[in-house]
Structure 1
Amino acid sequence: MDVRRRLTLLAVTIAATPLILGGCTADRKPGAAGGAAGPAVTVTPAEGTKDVPVSAEVGTSVTGGKVTGVKLTDDKGKQVAGEPREDGSSWVPSTPLEKGRTYTAEVTASGDKGRTAVRRTTFVTAAKSTKQAITSTLYFTGNQTYGTAMPVTVAFEPGIPKEARADVQRRLFVKTDPPQPGAWSWLEDGTQVYYRAPDFWKPGTNISVRAGLEGLPIGKQYVGDDDRRAASKIGRQVALDIDNATKQISVFQDGKLLRKIPVSLGKESTPSSSGKMVIMEKFQQTTFDTRGAPDGGYVVDVEDAQRLTWGGEFIHAAPWSEGDQGYTNVSHGCANVSNTAADWLMGITQVGDLVTVKGTEVPLQAGNGWTAWNTGWDEFVKGSALPVPPGLKPAPVMSPPHPGAVAGGSSPAPAPSVSGG
């Protein structure tokens, strides 16, 4: 299959004993594909299964044919909407199932010789779980226009254990129109997972996301907290390059330089981070409160602020440092620009635009912001908990990687209040 047409709807395994039945409708004849009985159909959850998670899917597998229809109804006869996974391994309800309800799944399969089989299974979903819910946050809001570097980011508190990440990742769905397939990648501590394509999103792309985690068993002691979804689009291509050597911000749109802006970055004791960041938030006005933070202790109101990291690095108006901008670094880690330049930038940029900072004293820490672009594609896909589709796998490594190259990293918790400098 052409990888450009792939949807990012990954396979799921439902932990239930399968019901394996071979057979046809009344017209079955000896010699039909799949044996004399026609196509052999496997359905999960198995007949009579109880305490099924509300995140459950109808597992479907056929020998000697293919699934041609799935119908799921509740105990009041209401039909549940859903769709099959691309690989045909299961049928996914569009919303979580209801707690403590009985459901009947009817799976129809057609054999290679035209024979059909219909199999039904009835199961009961679990009541409210007594396990602790892991809090998830989807950093992708509906009805927005994002920049071309916008990663789909899901954050977790506490982090997802390594052994449970594949199960969680199977319940994270992304569709793009036009198709532009990508992959998920976890931070080492499991507190964030990012989805992006090998290259930036094409302007005009529509992206729909679902984090279908409600009731999902996560390890032995946790469950997922909610089923979240959003749909938005990608706007114009804008990128900012910040060079510490020249103390200038170069602003590009569609690859063309629009303007250069003098900047003052973090002073030696509080340096700015070097790396590839993404604009996360935009504020017309906000307050930086660094009391209790190292090298902080001040409260200041700022205008036209754009967040780059959880640690409090922003691009913002700083009229008090205009004499230093373009010459000297005097900030607490932020990118200080003039009032006029900050106001102009607010009208150009979008959440999701790429900001690249180079030449400072410290590298950007993985997870300090939406750092999905701070590694190349070959490193990024190593963070997936599931096999990456063949067309998205990195090229074979012809020589040993640099000994300093590592995948993943730790993620500081998102700052509860705005800080900067």
Structure 2
Amino acid sequence: MIANVRLLSGVVSGETTRGKGTHVTVGRGTRRFFGAVAAAAAASLVFAACSSDDGGAPATQTQTGAAGQNQQVGPAAAPVVAKVTTKPANNAKNVAPNGPFTVTVADGTLASVTLTNPDGKKVKGSLAADKKSWKVTEDLGYGKKYTWSGSATSPDGKSVPVKGSFTTVTAQSKVSAHINTADNATYGVGQPIVVTFDQDVSDKKSVEKALKVETSKDVTGSWAWFDDRTVHYRPKAYWPANTKVDVHLDIYGVSFGGGAYGLDDVTSKFTIGRNQVVKANTKTHRFMVYRNGKKVHDYPASYGLDSDPGRVTHSGTHLVMSKSQTYFMTNEKYDYENIEVHWAVRISNNGEFVHGAPWSAAQQGNSNVSHGCANLSEANAEAYYNSVLPGDPVEVTGSTVKLSPADGDYHDWIYSWSKWQSMSAL
């Protein structure tokens, strides 16, 4: 412990007392005495600081080097060893072949990594710039065992092996996907993306997570399941004009449920064209074409006979599906077969078209006499035919029968946005 140091109140030259305190005047002759006392106190402090209460050795031993500097002496530090982690874990079974498959290292760097299939073929992969991780850059096969090899280097230069293996799942069946949009094609602002699978899908959540849509403009959209094999994607509102759309169906290695897995990935890149929307009113007998929000044509038309539910043109948002310069129409229920029409634009799968109809020229603009189609003059039908893109909306209003799922594939826009979202599996 540190010794107490006290200056004794001896007789000092010039000592005076004021009240309860003591004033000391140190003259020239007494400075040597005071200095001697201070030196003795300092020596006592140094001695006390080098001792311990319990008399044992200090926790840390101090040595004085040749230069007179203190040096710490303790146990030697343990060497730092690189820690290698493989994903999936060693001996993992039933691993999806679409990954991810990685090797990472802590407290070191990767010197080499190889993943080989049962035939000894190396799997493609890439090493990160910092040499801390390596990843597979291709899909693996179904029902195969893969083996890791290679090494990592610890900070002291010692090598640590990369090793282990895993086995991918065996698919009981493999499911194909087909998409309705063609690469580099241009579509109207109402165009849905339709994906059809060749088997029923029981794990819709798993599959829907693998379906991705990227757009060049900000678009809010969602997938909706129409049945166990069909899922559609549409935006909340019509697509913005001139949007580029990139679709990725990354289904390889994805579980479809019941032991079925995706066979191949599918992609599609297309463009949304100008905004063209038709407003067709069965009560006013007009067929009005709007482009980029501006009315550019107003044609007289005749729609389906209102008094016959089998002939009435259905109200709701139709979409252009295809077009034919010459088309032959048949309806056995109404006793006609192979009736030739020109400039035919299909707007549903229930037999509704927009086409030229010179036989109803007198009724166009004042009454409805067709079997469900929108009849235009030949000249107006040709002009419309030449302007359309697949996916252009035709909004029919005024009739007593509404468009429904029974009308075919493209009834996507009959649903409210909240209803559409409820049809997603996610």
Q: Does 2:124 match 1:79?
A: yes
Contact 2:355 2:374 in 1 (8 A): yes
SS class of match (1:362)? coil
AA aligned to 1:370 is Y
Shift of 1:144: 0.8
Range moving further from structure 2, 262-271 or 169-178: 262-271
What residue number does 2:420 align with? 380
Which structure 2 residues correspond to residues 201-350 of structure 1 after superposition, within 5 A? Answer: 201-214=239-252, 216-220=254-258, 222-224=260-262, 226-267=264-305, 268=308, 269-291=310-332, 294-295=333-334, 298-350=337-389
Shift of 1:227: 2.8
Give the direction of change, closer, same or farther, for the CA distance of 1:58–1:341 in structure 2 (3 Å limit): same
Give the direction of change, closer, same or farther, for the CA distance of 1:232–1:28 in structure 2 (3 Å limit): farther
AA aligned to 1:330 is V
Distance, in Å, in 2 between the alignment partners of 1:42 and 1:366 is 50
Contact 1:277 1:369 in 2 (8 A): no
Distance, in Å, in 1 between the alignment partners of 2:125 and 2:319 is 39
What residue number does 1:369 align with? 409
Give the direction of change, closer, same or farther, for the CA distance of 1:198–1:100 in structure 2 (3 Å limit): same
Q: Does 2:206 match 1:167?
A: yes
Give the direction of change, closer, same or farther, for the CA distance of 1:191–1:324 in structure 2 (3 Å limit): farther
Contact 1:58 1:105 in 2 (8 A): no
Give the direction of change, closer, same or farther, for the CA distance of 1:119–1:250 in structure 2 (3 Å limit): farther
* Percent sequence identity over aligned pairs: 28
AA aligned to 2:248 is R
SS class of match (2:405)? coil
Contact 2:123 2:136 in 1 (8 A): no
Contact 2:114 2:122 in 1 (8 A): no
Distance, in Å, in 2 between the alignment partners of 1:105 and 1:160 is 34
Q: Aligned match of 1:150 in 187, 191, 209?
A: 191
Shift of 1:203: 1.6
Shift of 1:322: 2.3
Distance, in Å, in 2 between the alignment partners of 1:225 and 1:215 is 7
Contact 1:237 1:253 in 2 (8 A): yes
Give the direction of change, closer, same or farther, for the CA distance of 1:159–1:78 in structure 2 (3 Å limit): closer
Distance, in Å, in 2 between the alignment partners of 1:309 and 1:51 is 45
- Give the aligned CA root-mean-square deviation in angstroms: 3.7
SS class of match (1:175)? strand
What residue number does 1:180 align with? 219
Shift of 1:179: 3.5
Shift of 1:209: 0.8
What residue number does 2:180 align with? 139
C-alpha deviations, 1:361-396, integer Å up to 9, x for none?
21111372322222222222111111xxxxxxxxxx
Whichever structure has more helix as a proportion of its residues is 2
C-alpha deviations, 1:305-343, integer Å up to 9, x for none?
222212222212222322222223222222221211111
Distance, in Å, in 1 between the alignment partners of 2:373 and 2:114 is 54
Shift of 1:99: 4.3
Contact 2:320 2:391 in 1 (8 A): yes
SS class of match (2:340)? strand
Paired residues in the alignment total 316
Distance, in Å, in 2 between the alignment partners of 1:223 and 1:314 is 40
Give the direction of change, closer, same or farther, for the CA distance of 1:286–1:200 in structure 2 (3 Å limit): same
State the TM-score, normalized to the length of structure 1: 0.64
AA aligned to 2:206 is D
C-alpha deviations, 1:154-187, integer Å up to 9, x for none?
23456544xx221221121111113423211222
Runs of 5+ in structure 2 lacking a partner? 1-78, 105-112, 127-134, 150-160
Runs of 5+ in structure 1 lacking a partner? 1-25, 30-36, 63-70, 82-90, 107-117, 387-421
Give the direction of change, closer, same or farther, for the CA distance of 1:223–1:272 in structure 2 (3 Å limit): farther
Give the direction of change, closer, same or farther, for the CA distance of 1:223–1:283 in structure 2 (3 Å limit): farther
Shift of 1:215: 5.8
Distance, in Å, in 1 between the alignment partners of 2:416 and 2:394 is 15
Q: Does 2:100 match 1:58?
A: yes
Shift of 1:234: 1.2
